[in-house]
Amino acid sequence: MSGQFSFGSLLRRPEAGAFIGLVAVLAFFVVFGGLSFLKTAGVASWLNVAANLGIVAIPIGLLMISGELDISIGAMVPAGSMTVAILSGYFGLPIAVGILAALGFGVLVGLLNGFIVVRTAVPSLIVTLGSLFAVQGLVLGLSVMLTNTTSIPLTSPAWAKAMFGTFIANQFQVIILWWLALTAVYVFVIHFKPVGNWIFAMGGDKVSARNAGIPTERLTIILFVLSATSASFVGVCQAILFNSAQVSSGMSFIFNAIISVVVGGVLLTGGFGSIIGIFFGTITFAIVNQGIYFTDFDRNWSSLIIGVMLLLAVLMNNTFRKMALSYSPKKK
Amino acid sequence: MSTPILELENVDKSFGPIHVLHNISLKVMPGEVLCLLGDNGAGKSTLIKTLAGVHKPTSGVVRFEGKPVVFDNPKQAQEIGIATVHQFGGTFPLMSIGRSFFVGVEPTKGWGPFKVIDRKKANAVAIKAIQDFGITRIDDGDRLIGGLSGGERQSLAIARAVHLGARVLILDEPTAALGVKQASHVLRIVLEAKKRGISVIFITHQVTHAMAVGDQYAVLIHGSVAANFYRGERTREEITDLMAGGEALAKLEAEVEN
Ligand SMILES: Nc1ncnc2c1ncn2[C@@H]1O[C@H](COP(=O)(O)OP(=O)(O)OP(=O)(O)O)[C@@H](O)[C@H]1O
Ligand SMILES: [Mg+2]
The answer to whether B70 faces chain A, any CB pair under 8 Å, is no
- Residue A11 pLDDT > 70, yes or no? no
Nearest CA in chain B to A213: B75
Cβ pair B75:A192 closer than 8 A: no
Cβ pair A211:B123 closer than 8 A: no
**Across A27-41, average pLDDT:** 85
CA A211 to ligand 2 center in whole angstroms:
15
Tell me whether strands A244-246 and A151-153 are parallel, antiparallel or unpaired.
Answer: antiparallel
Residue of B51, B54, B87, B94 to mutate, testing the A interface (most A Cβ within 10 Å of its Cβ): B94
pLDDT of residue B155: 82
Q: Interface pTM (ipTM) of the complex?
A: 0.81
- Residue B249 pLDDT > 60, yes or no? no
**Across B79-104, average pLDDT:** 88
Name the burial class of residue B220, with classes exposed (0-12), middle (13-18) and buried (19+) by CB atoms within 10 angstroms of its CB: buried
pLDDT of residue B148: 84
With cut-offs at 50, 70 and 90, classify the pLDDT of residue A10.
low
pLDDT of residue A20: 85
Most confident of A78-87, A290-299, B155-164, B173-182: A78-87
- Residue A3 pLDDT > 60, yes or no? no
* Rounded distance between C-alpha atoms, residue B228 and residue B213, angstroms: 16
The answer to whether B93 faces chain A, any CB pair under 8 Å, is yes
Q: Could you tell me which residues come within 8 angstroms of residue A229 by beta carbon, excluding any fewer than 6 positions away?
A: A103, A106, A107, A110
The answer to whether B117 faces chain A, any CB pair under 8 Å, is yes
With cut-offs at 50, 70 and 90, classify the pLDDT of residue B176.
confident
Nearest CA in chain B to A271: B94
Strand, coil or helix: A322: helix
pLDDT of residue B183: 85
Is the domain covering A10-325 a CATH 1.10.3470 domain? yes
Question: Closest Cα to residue B175, out of B223, B213, B140, B136?
Answer: B213
The values of phi and psi at residue A224, to 5°, are -65, -40
pLDDT digits (tens, 9 = 90+) for B177-221: 788 888 888 888 888 888 888 899 999 888 889 999 999 999 998
Most confident of A255-259, A319-323, B149-153: A255-259
Question: Closest Cα to residue A102, out of A124, A86, A122?
Answer: A86
Q: How many CB pairs under 8 A join A and B?
A: 103
The values of phi and psi at residue A327, to 5°, are -65, 125
Alpha carbon A232 to chain centroid, angstroms:
12
Domain extents in chain A: 10-325
For residue A168, what are the β-bridge partners?
A172
Residue of B103, B114, B149 to mutate, testing the A interface (most A Cβ within 10 Å of its Cβ): B103
Cβ pair B92:A324 closer than 8 A: no
pLDDT digits (tens, 9 = 90+) for B139-148: 889 888 888 8
pLDDT digits (tens, 9 = 90+) for B113-132: 889 999 999 999 999 988 88
The values of phi and psi at residue B10, to 5°, are 50, 45
The answer to whether B164 faces chain A, any CB pair under 8 Å, is no
With cut-offs at 50, 70 and 90, classify the pLDDT of residue B253.
low
Most confident of A93-107, A251-265, B12-26, B62-76: A93-107
- Residue B251 pLDDT > 80, yes or no? no
pLDDT of residue A328: 53
Cβ pair B103:A198 closer than 8 A: yes
Q: How far is A197 from chain B (nearest CA, A)?
A: 7
Residues from A in contact with B at Cβ < 8 Å: 1-2, 188, 192-194, 197-198, 200-201, 204-205, 207-215, 267, 271-272, 321, 324-329, 332
pLDDT of residue A2: 40
Cβ pair B74:A325 closer than 8 A: no
pLDDT digits (tens, 9 = 90+) for A143-198: 999 999 989 999 999 999 999 999 999 899 999 999 999 999 999 999 999 999 99
pLDDT of residue B254: 65
What length does chain B have? Answer: 258
Tell me whether strands B67-69 and B82-85 are parallel, antiparallel or unpaired.
Answer: unpaired
Question: Closest Cα to residue B163, out of B210, B107, B214, B88?
Answer: B107
What length does chain A have? Answer: 332
* Rounded distance between C-alpha atoms, residue B174 and residue B191, angstroms: 14
Q: Kindly provide the residue ranges of all beta strands, DSSP E only, lying in chain B, ordered along the sequence.
A: 6-15, 18-28, 33-38, 59-64, 67-69, 82-85, 108-109, 116-117, 168-172, 199-203, 216-221, 224-230
Q: Could you tell me which residues come within 8 angstroms of residue B67 by beta carbon, excluding any fewer than 6 positions away?
A: none
Torsion over CA of A7, A11, A13 and A19, rounded to 10 degrees?
A: 110
Identity of the residue in B84, B103, B147 whose CB atom sits nearest the CB atom of A325: B147
Tell me whether strands B224-230 and B216-221 are parallel, antiparallel or unpaired.
Answer: antiparallel
Question: Closest Cα to residue B149, out of B163, B137, B164, B161?
Answer: B137
Name the burial class of residue A282, with classes exposed (0-12), middle (13-18) and buried (19+) by CB atoms within 10 angstroms of its CB: buried
The amino acid that residue B42 corresponds to is A
**CA atoms within a 13 Å half-sphere pointing along the CA-CB vector of A2:** 16
Nearest CA in chain A to B99: A197
pLDDT of residue A50: 97
Q: Which domains does chain B have, with CATH numbers?
A: 6-83+166-257 (3.40.50.300)
Other CB atoms within 10 A of residue A109 CB: 29
- Residue A89 pLDDT > 60, yes or no? yes
The answer to whether B84 faces chain A, any CB pair under 8 Å, is yes
Report CA-CA distances (Å) from B35 to A45, A129, A252, B212. 68, 49, 59, 10
pLDDT digits (tens, 9 = 90+) for B10-61: 999 999 899 999 999 999 999 999 999 988 888 999 999 999 999 999 999 9
Query: Which residue's CA is the closest to the ligand 1 atom numbered 24?
Result: B40
Cβ pair A204:B108 closer than 8 A: no
Out of A1-10, A122-131, A298-307, B65-74, pick the least confident: A1-10
Q: Could you tell me which residues come within 8 angstroms of residue B59 by beta carbon, excluding any fewer than 6 positions away?
A: B10, B11, B12
Question: Closest Cα to residue A99, out of A84, A82, A121?
Answer: A84
pLDDT of residue A168: 93
pLDDT of residue B238: 83
H or E element: which one contains A172?
A: strand A172-173
* Rounded distance between C-alpha atoms, residue A20 and residue A107, angstroms: 36
Report CA-CA distances (Å) from A165 to A59, A247, B55, B154, B200. 22, 19, 51, 54, 62
pLDDT of residue A262: 92
Q: If you average pLDDT over every residue of chain B, what do you get?
A: 87
- Closest atom of ligand 1 relative to the B43 alpha carbon: 18
